[in-house]
Structure 1
Amino acid sequence: MRADVRRWLHDRTYPGNRWEPRALLRAKHQQGTTVSVVLPALDEERTVGAIVTSIRRTLVEACPLVDELVVMDSGSCDRTAAVAGDAGARVVHVDTVLPEHGGVPGKGEALWKSLHVTSGDLLVFVDADLVAFDPRFVVGLLGPLLTDPAVGYVKGLYDRPLTTTEGLVPSGGGRVTELLARPLLNAFWPELSGFVQPLSGEYAGRRELLESVPFASGYGVEFGLLVDLARVAGVSALAQADLGTRQHSHQSDAALGRMAGQILQTAMARRPGGGAPSPELVQFLRTEDGVEAVSWDVGTRDRPPMRLLRAERGGRRR
């Protein structure tokens, strides 16, 4: 593993349970900082209400760490907007925001437009399809931002149980991450290979930083933000927090293929020019002490067409 990645993993990977809400509330008041939590949602009536209720009760009413709780509804056909509103969120319909700029389908559009309708100095993004949501996710993501001014963006890392016909497997979720996003980062942006969950839907950042980069439409938004923020602010300004376990609904292989296609388009639009890709692939294992990085050499080598080889050898065969 590259020495700079190893140092970053040591310096910028935090246990999410390191901070208590009351301690962060004091830091927030001392700094005069405000916090907005945003949930992008599309047809998530089954889960969005519980998430909003949990955040409202724990981090708005019991301990006012969160100043603003917004659900960005991307045109749900179910009762997502009504359920979120009843649970205590301010619901904003994406099509009503910046209508003069038109609309682009997908998650990235909702996140981009949320910057226009929120006011917090710090923004926390949480997917609306989480099951058994823990409000400590929000606390863990805010911790580095409220305690270290050098940190500008924090990604969540976690185990992702996978539901199969044989029950719940402790890990195995994140198929697009392992099959596409991680190999792409390792090949073309190896300085970012220390991110355990580069496509995590739970992350937080400083407004001035988030407003300085473009937001890719669709499911490419998380990949694009990671690459663009590293370019603008430097990898040392990025961090990750271990949030434990994340449960959510799983999509079909066909849906994941469409997601992968959008991520690939986002990556290719940002691919650095020139030079061979790095042959190293960094993966992660859960241990008693957190996560452990494991490096593999995945470099390949093309052998020449046999006809050319024979021509060079004078047409000789064995």
Structure 2
Amino acid sequence: MLEEVERWLNLRSWSTADRPLDRLVAAKAGRGLTVSVVLPALDEEETVGDIVAAIRHELVEAVPLVDELVVLDSGSKDRTAQVATAAGARVVHRDAVLPRIPALPGKGEVLWRSLLVTSGDIVCFIDSDLKDFSASFVSGIVGPLLTEPDVHFVKAMYDRPLGEATGQGGRVTELVARPLLNLHWPQLAGFVQPLGGEYAVRRSLLERLPFPVGYGVELGLLVDSLHTVGLDALAQVDVGVRKHRHQDGQALGRMAATIYRTAHLRLSRGALVRPALTQFERGVDGCGFVPKTYAVDTEERPPMREIAEYAARRAA
């Protein structure tokens, strides 16, 4: 298996510098492809505007690489929608998409619904909390899908600093996701950032995959893509450094439980684990510990091609 991972790393790992923008634009025009960029957002007014502005200026106006730039707002209480609109994105509220199915909280939910309000042959997801954002995140991960017809799914890889420590971010990745992948899906051991929120996928693949509604969406899509199109249809691109907001330890615990549950579902498809996580906080005045129990995301949305509204839209 190690030999297969090393072969894949040499075959399917690139950097943003490997494909200049003029080559990407020519490949896009030559193949008649369209590109949609989707930013899932929840209370990201401090960062979403800069991300949208960079993509619009560099990849919509300067060169015709991105055809559609959409922010999917999952119920922001701040000025996320206004800031994103002013920067040049089309903002769509989660609850306005497929209203006959009540929305569930979670990142995967808005990514799933985004397929109904975008039309690109290639869909590129970018998190909305990135700092010091570069549009090369988008061009880098979209690039292989424009130039390599047999590639269907591309993840960004990068350094994730935690404070001053380079490479110390991604704690759920290192403590939970990477061990799970190495033990159960060793073909995916070569992915540097399996849980990263920046990736681009052919619509023809995305519409065939189920979507975990919460934080497990990245792991679920990666594992299901392996089983659907095979390892050599998956790739990764080095985009440099990713800076973003970090979560506290308890939030990371809840994320870890969701990742485990997502993996377990794919391993057993029917065996049940307790879908809850109990954590502890110090009580009032420092006296004792108070248990708090949180539900672990267990819902998944079906492949989008099974949704009647999507099928009707594609037919039209």
- TM-score bracket, shorter-length normalisation: 0.7 to 0.9
- Post-superposition shift, 1:264? 1.1
RMSD: 1.0
The 3-state SS of whatever aligns with 1:37 is strand
1:68 alignment counterpart: 68
User: Is structure 2 residue 46 aligned with structure 1 residue 46?
Assistant: yes
Give me the identity figure in percent. Answer: 60
1:298 alignment counterpart: none
2:23 alignment counterpart: 23
- Post-superposition shift, 1:169? 1.7
Counterpart of 1:169 (choices 165, 168, 177) is: 165
2:234 alignment counterpart: 238
**Correspondence list, 1:115-194, <5 A:** 115-163=115-163, 168-194=164-190
- Partners of 1:162 and 1:77 lie apart in 2 by 27
Give the gaps of 5 or more residues in structure 1: 274-318
Give every structure 1 segment of 4 or more consecutive aligned residues whose post-TM-superposition deviation is greater than 2 Å.
none
- Partners of 2:190 and 2:7 lie apart in 1 by 10
1:316 alignment counterpart: none
Say whether the 8 Å CA contact 1:188–1:272 is kept in structure 2.
Answer: no
User: Is structure 2 residue 218 aligned with structure 1 residue 219?
Assistant: no
- Partners of 1:111 and 1:122 lie apart in 2 by 14
Amino acid at match of 1:180: V
Say whether the 8 Å CA contact 1:72–1:93 is kept in structure 2.
Answer: yes
The 3-state SS of whatever aligns with 1:39 is strand
Counterpart of 1:229 (choices 225, 234, 238) is: 225
User: Is structure 2 residue 112 aligned with structure 1 residue 112?
Assistant: yes
**Which stretch has the larger CA shift, 197-206 or 254-263?**
254-263
- Partners of 1:79 and 1:22 lie apart in 2 by 35
The aligned length equals 269
- Partners of 1:78 and 1:98 lie apart in 2 by 24
- Partners of 2:188 and 2:50 lie apart in 1 by 33
- Partners of 2:56 and 2:144 lie apart in 1 by 22
- Partners of 2:42 and 2:257 lie apart in 1 by 20
- Post-superposition shift, 1:272? 5.6
**Which stretch has the larger CA shift, 255-264 or 213-222?**
255-264
- Partners of 2:214 and 2:121 lie apart in 1 by 25
The 3-state SS of whatever aligns with 1:100 is coil
Report which of the two structures shows the higher radius of gyration computed on alpha carbons.
1
What per-residue deviation string (whole Å, max 9, x for no partner) do you get for residues 5-58 of structure 1?
111111011112211122101110111100000000000000000000000000
Say whether the 8 Å CA contact 1:177–1:198 is kept in structure 2.
Answer: yes
Report the TM-score when normalising by structure 2. 0.84
Report the TM-score when normalising by structure 1. 0.83
Amino acid at match of 2:39: L
Amino acid at match of 2:186: P
What per-residue deviation string (whole Å, max 9, x for no partner) do you get for residues 88-120 of structure 1?
000000011001111111000010000110000
Give the gaps of 5 or more residues in structure 2: 270-316
Amino acid at match of 1:104: L
Counterpart of 2:250 (choices 240, 254, 266) is: 254
1:200 alignment counterpart: 196
- Partners of 1:50 and 1:17 lie apart in 2 by 23
Say whether the 8 Å CA contact 1:17–1:136 is kept in structure 2.
Answer: no
User: Is structure 2 residue 87 aligned with structure 1 residue 87?
Assistant: yes
The 3-state SS of whatever aligns with 1:264 is helix
The 3-state SS of whatever aligns with 1:76 is coil
The 3-state SS of whatever aligns with 1:98 is coil
The 3-state SS of whatever aligns with 1:116 is coil
The 3-state SS of whatever aligns with 1:250 is coil
